[in-house]
Amino acid sequence: MTKAARRSPAPWVRWTLAGVLAVLASAWFGVTTAGANLSLGPHEARYQVTTSGEVVADLGPLGTMRIDSPAGPLGVDVTIREIPADLFQIDQATTLDGLSDDLQSYLQFFSTPDVTIREVTHALVVDAVRRTVVALVVVAAVGGGLWFLVGEARRREIARVVAPRTWEITAAVCVVALLGGTLSADDRDTPQNAPVSPVFAGTALEGARLTGRLAGVIDTYGAQLLGIYRDNEKFYADARAALRTEWDRQAGVDQRIALAAASQGTAGLAGHDLTAPEEPSPGDAATPDAATPDAATPDAATPDGAATAEATPAATPVAADREETEDDLVTFLVVSDLHCNMSMTPLIRDIAERSGAKAILDAGDTTMNGTAVERVCVDSFATARPKGVDYVVSDGNHDSTLVSDAQRAQGLTVLDGSVVDVAGVRILGDRDPNETRVGAGTSSRGETLDEAAQRLADTACAEDPDLLLVHTPAVGDTTLRAGCVPFQVSGHTHRRRDPSDVGLGLRYVNGSTAGALSGQPTVGPLHGIAEMTLLRFDPVERRFVDWKLVEVFPDTTAKVSPWQMMPLPAQPADECANLPEGIDREDCNLQHDGAEGEPVETP
């Protein structure tokens, strides 16, 4: 009996199977070889995808920390490297107090593991996709090259032999791939008897297994570190709850103010609280100092927590010559000098959401030293913006080009000396002309403060912006005195200065949103008052009309002020007032307006 001839699948089936196998093989190669050089805490670290099913942090001679991977058979090897040489510390940890400070410094990176996980995941996925594409290109190039080298006659001969065995070959490839994956997952010398550390119970690292000397170190000092971690988590949870409660209370007050103003047909009540005076908040008397030696002390600065109403006695009510609702105004949330206090991120987001802010304005100093490992701080603060809300930043002297690049990668608008339009408001700003590195002092980035001030003034006078956003207040002096911008927002000093006249405009200096105090870390529970400010802009009058202060105190209480009216900026001097006899005022006005004609001589 003659054996039936094998039936060959249609050519399109064979090509489809070959393409699918090529894609799967390339994807497997791309995923299992993906890696990224990032950071873990203050350390540089190498992340490498494995098939061990574990996340393994290798600390060299100290041992390893292992935890089951949430990605099933895929795991990650983390090789911990040195702390970069450019991450200096002012004081050496020579005492137990110093050790405690070091633990608090590590806390800022590990108290928000979701940020690190998100950054690492994104970097590994991007690298895996890149490697997959490269592998596909190589496979296609090699396959195409062999196709043409073999020749048509040889291809037909191979097809006659291979085509009838398409399904057998496909099954064999699948079996080999499964065996290879299984063997690669078991080719690691994983200590199965490593005990689960009880220190991490109730944390994101619960279930972690420790090996080597690291187990003893964690058992000895882990409780202290976790105590600091839990204290920090409780502090900011309490502060966040207090801030939400205070916001809701003040929102009710603001609503009564708006109703009273509407019933009287005037906006004159907009800056006054209709409730009985409250007892001062516990932190009202605190006056935080600058957190770094270079932070200038402002002349006539308003200390943090000072009563807002007293700080603006010259506030002028806005005339109610037109109907206006709050929906017509554009709201901005101002933060500054965050200095890597990532625990403030949820509080910033809460205020941005509840206020309906169109954008967050960051007056700089996002980081402490501008190093690559502080990218995690940028990633954290970027999550403070609700969906659809812009984030505009003028980098400070403690930031660097690395920080600016990380901010742009997160979709933030980094000011670079040109005017940008945000929610219909024209904003001018640039990075600080100085850079400060802890332990290395302050130096110029290539231009002096005066040169930067003049450059921005020239741009402002030509472009007519609504707002100047710069880190150091003095950088805006030239622009304000020239009358080329009506309002400036800055940070840097870590001490608030309420809206006040500078030249022909107004300047507002925001306090530190990290609660920075001299000689104290900006991570962990607050040491000073953390401040945020809300500004409202009238798109018809083209000016900022009022502001609201938001404060969080070191005792976890919070205070939200009522809306305070902006003072009107100083008006230019009337050159034609009190003219001598014989000089016509109309001729004087024409001369000062640049009209043609002979100069008017004074007798």
Residue 230: its pLDDT value, please? 82
Buried b / exposed e over 442-472, threshold 16 CB at 10 Å, is eeeeeeeeeebbebbbebbeeeebbbbbbbb
Report, as an integer, the average pLDDT of 138-151.
81
Counting residues of the chain whose pLDDT is more than 70, the rounded percentage is: 64
Residue 311: its pLDDT value, please? 40
Residue 290: its pLDDT value, please? 41
CATH fold for the domain made of 231-274+329-565: Purple Acid Phosphatase; chain A, domain 2 (3.60.21)
232 touches 239 (CB < 8 A)? no
| Nearest-angstrom CA–CA distance, 43 and 88 | 12
What does the pLDDT look like over 317-344, one tens digit per residue?
A: 443 444 456 778 999 999 999 999 999 9
Buried b / exposed e over 76-100, threshold 16 CB at 10 Å, is bbbbbeebeebbeeeeeeeeeeeee
Residue 455: its pLDDT value, please? 96
The torsion angles phi and psi of 136, rounded to 5 degrees, stand at -65, -40
Position 268 pLDDT exceeds 70: no
What does the pLDDT look like over 278-318, one tens digit per residue?
A: 444 444 434 444 444 444 444 433 444 443 433 444 444 44
Altogether, the residues listed in the chain come to a count of 603
Position 433 pLDDT exceeds 80: yes
364 touches 332 (CB < 8 A)? no
Q: Where are the domains of the chain?
A: 11-80+112-200, 231-274+329-565
What does the pLDDT look like over 223-238, one tens digit per residue?
A: 666 777 788 889 999 9
Instruction: Report helix angle 375-382 to 401-409, nearest 10.
Output: 40
**Residue 335, beta-bridge partner list:** 362
Residue 428: its pLDDT value, please? 98
Residue 458: its pLDDT value, please? 95
What does the pLDDT look like over 529-556, one tens digit per residue?
A: 999 999 999 999 999 999 999 999 999 9
506 touches 546 (CB < 8 A)? no
pLDDT bracket for residue 151 (50, 70, 90): confident
What does the pLDDT look like over 80-119, one tens digit per residue?
A: 765 554 544 434 444 444 444 445 555 555 555 566 677 7
Position 411 pLDDT exceeds 70: yes
Range name among 4-13, 116-125, 292-301 with the lowest pLDDT average: 292-301
E-assigned strands of 191-259?
209-210
What does the pLDDT look like over 466-476, one tens digit per residue?
A: 999 999 999 99
**Closest to 9 (Cα-Cα) out of 252, 17, 228, 1:** 17
With left for phi above 0 and alpha for psi between -120 and 50, is residue 81 left, alpha or beta?
beta
Higher pLDDT, 152 or 457: 457
Find how far residue 252's CA is from the centre of its chain.
31
pLDDT bracket for residue 369 (50, 70, 90): confident
Position 423 pLDDT exceeds 90: yes
| Nearest-angstrom CA–CA distance, 234 and 245 | 17
**Closest to 362 (Cα-Cα) out of 420, 299, 414:** 414
584 touches 590 (CB < 8 A)? no
531 touches 551 (CB < 8 A)? yes
With left for phi above 0 and alpha for psi between -120 and 50, is residue 531 left, alpha or beta?
beta
